[in-house]
Chains A and B, each alone.
Chain A
Amino acid sequence: MYKIVTKKELAPNIYLIEIAAADVAKKSNPGRFVIIRLDEKGERVPLTIAGVDLNKGTVATAFHAVGRTTKKLAKMKAGDSITDLSGPLGNPAEVGKFGKVLLVGGGVWCAPLHYVAQALRKNGNKLVVVAAGRTENDMVYVSELKAVADDFCVATDDGSKGNEGLDFLADVLKAQKFDHAVVMGPVSMLKKVVDLTRPYGLKTMVTLASLMVDGTGMCGACRVTVGGVTKFACMDGPEFNGLDVDFDELISRQRLYLPEERMASMIHDKLGGGVKRG
């Protein structure tokens, strides 16, 4: 059993939890993920690591409560335990010394992006950071990202705060030369940013949250075409150069279980999902 040590609501329906897993914390790196399973009947869900606290022996991860498992998790409290946590899985993100780095985070992904940004900063890179969200209310980790950035701005889909949408990046990319870019967010956003960086041939690392079951190379559910070759996000990624990723296939694969996910989520909403309401 793995104990939830702290739980915070970062924004409506977006949470950050710290889970006691000292061995995992010691071996964690930015860009890697854990797989959690809440209980005996639970599914295995990958969540990107948003940071660790070695003194407390905890691993932090942020999630948006949209599916059955994340909704159940949102109802759990500090002091409750989950049955399984496996990690760190996947490969670390590239955080070497590049020079000037563009970082773009979307919604809940700003939390793990902050973990990557800290490492990039520590390694002497100059960071231009964009924190994005659907609306002003969906923004998380804004002050944390701002604190590690040399240059920082905000964007929202509806323009309720900062730039409206990400089109402004076209001008940023035109005006400044970057040596590396890191994007973490929903797949549609990854695709959007990569389309903007492509004309400059800027290596744009994207972290892929593909469908996964085991997360260790066994199932192949996370397969994604990168540079014309099938790769497993869990084994070869989850970070890939976005310029080589077949996003359309990825988007289509991510929708594979939407009907079942909706059904499970609906059952959860109707029945309370078998977990006591907090």
Chain B
Amino acid sequence: MDKEKRKHGIEMDKQNVLERIHNFYEVALGYNEEQALAEAERCLQCPNPRCVTGCPVEVPIPDFIKLLKEKDYVAASLKIKEKNSLPAVCGRVCPQENQCQAMCVLGKMGDPISIGRLERFASDFERNKGVQIPELEKAAVTGKVAIVGSGPAGLTVAADLVKMGHEVVMFESLHLAGGVLMYGIPEFRLPKEIVQSEVSYIKQLGVDVKTNYTIGRIYTIDELFADGFDAIFVGSGAGLPNFMRIEGENLGGVYSANEFLIRVNLMKGYLFPEYDTPIRIGKKVAVIGGGNVAMDSARCSLRLGADEVYIVYRRSKEELPARAEEVENAEEEGVIFRLLNNPTKFIGDESGWVNAMECIKMELGEPDASGRRRPVPIKGSEFTMDVDTVIIAIGQTPNPLIQRTTEGLETTRHGTIIVNEETGAATKDGVFAGGDVVSGAATVISAMGAGKTAARGIHDYIQKKKGAK
């Protein structure tokens, strides 16, 4: 391949913008075989691959790309699965641009290899062919492990431990496993069928998934130990929505992004009344916040039929925490950005429904603890926006149920569980934790990375505990 040609990556097709804003089908269409082969061909197969160092779950990237080049697509998918049990998810929602792809040497003079798109191609190919369950080798010393929460962290720990021969029971509070992959990320970014197929793979590996069990309500952590579990992994996520604590927040039409997305994604409110859960969307929607959850909420609002959808964010475009790709998609679809604006109160009509929002203009001051420039309100700059739906997407904190009911489990003042970063071990013996419940709201892949660490930590813990007997 000549140098000039190698510089340019293969684009992935997207659903036409005018069509996609009226449906919930996947936006990114994925590579076809020809595109995947052309992109794989660009890979230099570095002897010292830097991309792998950028992957929190250590996927052997050049190895799977090599298998793609050889057209052994199933083998490529299995190669990824040696390290990553959720490749079809990661291929879609990982911020590769900041991770593996940021390290790719091709990125220095042109486009880095689209590792995520290739990962998606390989895993989609395998899924469409029919997933095979590998033979598992059992470790000499095994134990019984409870996993609390079935999101990306829990699924990773469960898969890794069951592969080592441990008995794994996973407890999920909701009626479907998958955590944020099911309730949070919309269908048009991550089809729920794909999540369920990854969950079913983990079940087929031998993990016992118990839905409808809210740990901290039905059983405490101590009761699980008493029930015979050797170790417990807490991956309960960051499920508690933050509110702004301003006037009018409990008016009708003001949602937490969690409520909005749960109704739309998990309960399929966009198919009401075929599905039983309703979702009400107005004509003018303001989404407060600038992260991926805000972009998801805004894009769902458009698809539900809102006329105008605003992202209201208190800093400037540069500080938007959302993935660049998602901001671009939102802009393309017609979401209007009201940057350096912050709501100060919500105003309702006689029936208790929101009909306006008072905002204040902001400017950026000195950097704050997060390193970003602090937004400062501009005195006297208040103005009113007419809105009939507000979605608050300013972050989530860990659900406190487990922390409240478990003695000896130390937490930070933000309610996150304190762990040893090398092992995932919490301060209570036998308890491990990872994902958003430790880090605060972060990405799918960082939760999976933490899950990998904890799986090793749990395995070692069981070896020591049981091997010593």
Interface residues of A (CB under 8 A from B): 23-24, 27, 37, 41-44, 68-69, 83-89, 213-214, 216-221, 223-225, 230, 235, 249, 252-253, 255-257, 260-261, 263-264, 267
Contacts and interface: CB of A to CB of B under 8 A. Distances in A.
A216 B399 contact: yes
Given A44-B277, A220-B256, A223-B250, A260 B262 contact: no
A89 B239 contact: no
Given A41-B275, A224-B250, 13 more contacts: A27-B219, A84-B212, A85-B212, A213-B262, A214-B183, A219-B258, A230-B245, A230-B250, A253-B250, A253-B252, A260-B272, A260-B280, A264-B272
Nearest to B396: A218
Interface string B225-253: 00000000000000111010100011011
A225 B250 contact: yes
A263 B243 contact: no
B18 interface: no
A225 B175 CA distance: 29
A249 B250 contact: yes
B221 to A, nearest CB: 14
Interface string B171-186: 0011100000001000
Contacts of B239: 216-218
A89 B213 CA distance: 10
B278 A261 contact: yes
A264 B263 CA distance: 16
A232 B350 CA distance: 24
Nearest to A84: B175
Contact of B214 (A42, A216, A219, A267): A216
A274 to B, nearest CB: 9
| Chain B interface SS verdict (over half) | loop
B256 to A, nearest CB: 4
Contact of B249 (A23, A69, A217, A230): A230
B175 A83 contact: yes
A89 B217 contact: yes
A257 B278 contact: yes
A69 B276 contact: yes
Contacts of B399: 216-218
B218 A27 contact: yes
Nearest to B261: A219
Nearest to A261: B278
Contact of A230 (B218, B243, B274): B243
B341 to A, nearest CB: 23
B408 to A, nearest CB: 22
B259 A213 contact: yes
A213 B277 contact: yes
The CB with the most chain A CB atoms within 10 A, among B175, B240, B249, B253, is that of: B175
Nearest to B352: A252
Given A89-B217, A252-B252, A256-B252, A216 B173 contact: yes
Given A37-B175, A86-B175, A218 B273 contact: no
Contacts, number: 120
A219 B262 contact: yes
Contacts of B23: none
8 contacts: A37-B175, A86-B175, A86-B214, A217-B239, A218-B183, A223-B250, A225-B250, A257-B280
B401 interface: yes
B256 A219 contact: yes
Contacts of B256: 219-220
B243 A214 contact: no
B376 interface: no
A214 B240 CA distance: 11
Contacts of B250: 223-225, 230, 249, 253
Given A44-B267, A260-B280, A89 B259 contact: no
Contact of B401 (A41, A83, A216): A216
Contacts of A267: 273
Contacts of B280: 256-257, 260
Contacts of A257: 278, 280
A224 B250 CA distance: 8
Interface in B132-165: none
The CB with the most chain B CB atoms within 10 A, among A24, A43, A85, is that of: A43
The 9 residue pairs across chains A and B that have the minimum distance between CB atoms: A260-B278, A252-B352, A219-B259, A43-B276, A86-B212, A220-B256, A84-B175, A43-B277, A218-B239
Contacts of B259: 213, 218-221
A41 B268 contact: yes
Nearest to A225: B250
A225 B280 CA distance: 22
Contacts of B277: 43-44, 213
Nearest to B216: A216
Given A41-B268, A44-B267, A217-B240, A264 B273 contact: yes
A218 B262 contact: yes
B211 A84 contact: yes
A216 to B, nearest CB: 5
Given A213-B263, A214-B262, A41 B217 contact: no
Interface in B247-303: 249-250, 252-253, 255-256, 258-259, 262-263, 267-268, 271-278, 280
B370 interface: no
Nearest to B278: A260
A220 B242 CA distance: 9
B351 interface: yes
B173 A86 contact: yes
B276 A218 contact: no
Contacts of B240: 217-218
A264 B401 contact: no
A213 B272 contact: no
Nearest to A246: B250
Nearest to A91: B217
A261 B243 CA distance: 26
B411 to A, nearest CB: 16
Nearest to A249: B250
Contacts of A216: 173-174, 214, 217, 239, 399, 401
